[in-house]
Chains A and B, each alone.
Chain A
């Protein structure tokens, strides 16, 4: 069982509500879910869609072909009819679209009329659509009803009952009229899955790491992180400050971090460009900071609501001067959760900036998981605060130490002064000009810390055939689609291309050392190595070449602002194999 449902319509029509509700019903019912969104940079109009894939087996990507299209506008039909599977069906409301479609694969459901009749308001039309889709799939509505009760608990029983009746009407209509419906949903156990998107996972990971201060300027696709944390602001005692610009955002976060709390900022490429001087400031002042950089296609404003992995080298090399940084690029919301925790740990321990590199695709896609394990979360306060300062005889903010790390004292907590400077400084933090101190201070910040930072970096994920002839290599958000492509290829028997595996990098910089895990051995031994990237120039391949000297035999790049789909990637891989 593997169905894809696409809800298409104009911005503002509620496609996200319909898609999100369906995704939650499936996850709560114990099915695996994968959703992705395709939207334009506008609040009303245009054409957007929300795609929900549901399966009884684990799924980690989107498909090209659609089983059910919920068309809330005509454009949905123009664009998505050709992507319908053989038994696929388009449901629509001829009264709302002011057009009747006669072909077999159309099912006219009067969303609005049913909503008015049973729900007493046309606002319930989307609830009718949800009920209809569930009916087409042969699912009951009990899980949906429970959700409606919670969602509208504050609005009272009347609204809840209207929604329930609207959903029922949609379901009954679909069951009765969809003669062509041949979907069969496999019965699942009652254990629900958690459903979470990348941005939520980063926000959750930050909260789980003791985040206290988040300052940012809103920028798609990073804003969801701020939204999620803002929702928990009061519960967890966090201050969210919307900055006047990204320069202020990073400087505020650095101020808060200097004052003794865990701080973070988030942005996309354009905003990160403004933060760059602040990144350098974090470097010289050795102030811990976590920065979420959610990529979108550039240059400049580019495609604001779409996806790309085009800022890898920017994140790695931007900012003047030489100082250590860490770049982590999660591939799933689960990885995003744990890597955000790791980011805070490293930032605090080594007093360096850590960048969490995601993109619109990961930020907005929802995945299902059994659970996130809090016992894997690490929290260790590295600050000298309160009583911890009592036994000191002296304190120098930038004192030279064996591993380059000087404890961070909370200013005001003792009579010791905490002094730091964006100018090169001495151990106390005061401006210097002399060459010897400069060299020693740079050694402290960079060369003494770096081996320890490097030690924290985990090797790539290796999945698939243990002795592969074909190695697919990805990084960051492509993990799900590449892994699922490997799953498909592994099942192709007999096939010359089933000795396949993926090497996936989520901890990008400092680049993982081969000593921990011999990924270079795997690459060197493979007949085919294919680097897969959601950008034009193959930035990760260039990084691998720079760090290891290894050159991939083939590249698959995608830079149309859209993510890889499973079918799209398999098509590219097959084309490559066929051409051999």
Chain B
């Protein structure tokens, strides 16, 4: 049985009060509650404050390039689909630099879990607009305010028929821990967009700002109703829904590849002698 002690990683280099701490705590709690050992999964991350996450967890880790966590995760998962793969990333890393991989891995429906620390700002590079920054937000690099429309990751994911689309808030530990477990238990590509205040650079979307707006989606909401889910995903402003917005039972990629029906790629042996037969095809 793993304990929280087993998950004690490096000392975080985040700012005091950063919303990431809540996510870190919730994740560790979820792993312990689910009885998952640190070596039993891999976290893939890219670059950004969120991407430092696996170093603070203690687990198998591939901390790769900016925006490129998803393709690495896909490669790991296809090589060993019995091994859970989680991605911890930020709004800039995932929705900006890695936008193409976000779109296409949702389409693939590879069974990985994508946790996006969404603070609507670039933290590591010190306060530029991110794809989820609200229009009009002024930063050092956007002195006239953000002109581009705000990316709606949940609506985008639902449009792509993403298998599991959810949102939580780093200030709501109980909800977040529950949602992490739900995502891990879901059989399919899972997106959890986690609202998380950047205490240093985002002076608009603060802890208080989120707290006044977020609400738990009602139990009557049917996450399998795509139209209803899309309507919920469009809600932003005075009220921001938290919970499982959308869910479907699309078959996962790993189950559709005949080659790995019996065992994962990594457990398959190689027999050079078979080549004799293949060489004959060239005569």
Q: Which residues of A contact B (CB under 8 A)?
A: 27-28, 192-196, 200, 204, 207-208, 210, 212-213, 215, 232-239, 241, 243-245, 247-249, 251-261, 263, 277-278, 281, 285, 371-372, 374, 377, 379, 385, 410-412, 414-423, 429-431
Provide the B165-196 mask, 1 if CB < 8 A to any CB of A, else 0: 00000000000000000000000000000000
Q: Nearest Cβ distance between residue B156 and chain A, in whole angstroms?
A: 15
Please report the C-alpha to C-alpha distance between residue A236 and residue B274 in the assembled complex, in whole angstroms: 9
Instruction: Evaluate contact between A239 and B259: CB separation under 8 angstroms.
Output: yes
- CB within 8 Å for A248 and B79 given contacts A412-B39, A421-B63: no
CB distance from B277 to the nearest CB of A (A): 9
Query: Is B266 an interface residue, CB under 8 A from the partner?
Result: yes
> 18 A-B contacts, Cβ less than 8 Å apart?
A28-B283, A208-B272, A210-B270, A213-B79, A213-B265, A237-B260, A241-B74, A241-B75, A249-B71, A251-B68, A251-B75, A252-B74, A255-B72, A255-B74, A263-B79, A412-B83, A414-B39, A421-B55
With A239-B257, A412-B39 as contacts: A430 and B10 at CB distance below 8 Å: yes
Q: How far is the CB of A35 from chain B (nearest CB, A)?
A: 14
Q: 13 more A-B contacts (CB under 8 A) besides A251-B64, A281-B68?
A: A208-B275, A212-B79, A248-B101, A251-B75, A255-B79, A259-B83, A261-B265, A261-B266, A412-B60, A417-B39, A418-B60, A420-B62, A429-B61
Chain A residues with CB under 8 A of B77: 255, 259
The docked-state distance in angstroms from the alpha carbon of A412 to that of B60 is 8
B65 engages A251 (CB within 8 Å): yes
Q: Could you tell me if B259 and A238 are in contact, using CB atoms closer than 8 angstroms?
A: yes
Residue in B closest to A196 when the chains form the complex, CB atoms: B282
Question: Is the Cβ of A247 less than 8 Å from the Cβ of B68?
Answer: yes
- B10 near A194 (CB under 8 angstroms)? no
Residue contact A248 to B258, C-beta cutoff 8 Å: no
CA distance A239 to B70 in the complex (A): 17
A278 engages B68 (CB within 8 Å): yes
Could you say which residues of chain A place their CB within 8 Å of the CB of B79?
Answer: 212-213, 239, 255-257, 259-261, 263
* Chain A residues in 8 Å Cβ range of B82: 412
- State whether the Cβ of B80 lies closer than 8 Å to any Cβ in chain A: yes
* B81-120 interface code vs A (CB 8 A; 1 in, 0 out): 0110000000000000000110110000000000000000
User: How far is A238 from B78 in the complex, measured between Cα atoms in Å?
Assistant: 10
- Inter-chain contact A252/B72, CB cutoff 8 Å: yes
Inter-chain contacts of A423 with B (CB < 8 A): 63
Chain B residues closer than 8 Å to A28, beta-carbon distance: 283
In this complex, the member of A196, A233, A411 whose beta carbon has the largest number of chain B beta carbons within 10 angstroms is: A411
CA distance A261 to B275 in the complex (A): 19
> Please, which residues of chain B bring their CB within 8 A of the CB of A196?
282
Q: Please state if B62 and A258 are interface contacts (CB–CB under 8 Å).
A: yes
- Give Cα distance in the complex from A371 to B275, angstroms: 12
Nearest Cβ distance between residue B46 and chain A, in whole angstroms?
Answer: 9
Question: Do A255 and B80 touch (CB < 8 A)?
Answer: no
Q: Does B73 contact A (CB under 8 A)?
A: yes
**Interface contact B282-A234, CB-CB below 8 Å:** no
Is the C-beta of B35 less than 8 angstroms from some C-beta in chain A?
no
Q: B78 and A256: CB pair below 8 A? A: yes
Q: Beyond A239-B260, A420-B62, is A252–B71 a contact (Cβ under 8 Å)?
A: yes
In the complex, whether B50 has a CB less than 8 A from a CB of chain A is: no
Are A372 and B64 touching (Cβ within 8 A)?
no
B52 is an interface residue with CB less than 8 A from chain A: yes
Given A192, A213, A251, which contacts B283 in the complex, CB threshold below 8 Å? A192
Asked if A194 contacts B47 (CB within 8 A), the reply is no
State the CA gap A193–B280 with chains docked (Å): 10
- Bound Cα distance A28, B10 (Å): 65
Contact of B275 among A245, A374, A411 (CB under 8 A): A374
Q: Does B78 contact A239, Cβ atoms closer than 8 Å? A: yes
B37 at the interface (CB under 8 A from A): yes
Cα–Cα, bound, A415→B37 (Å): 8
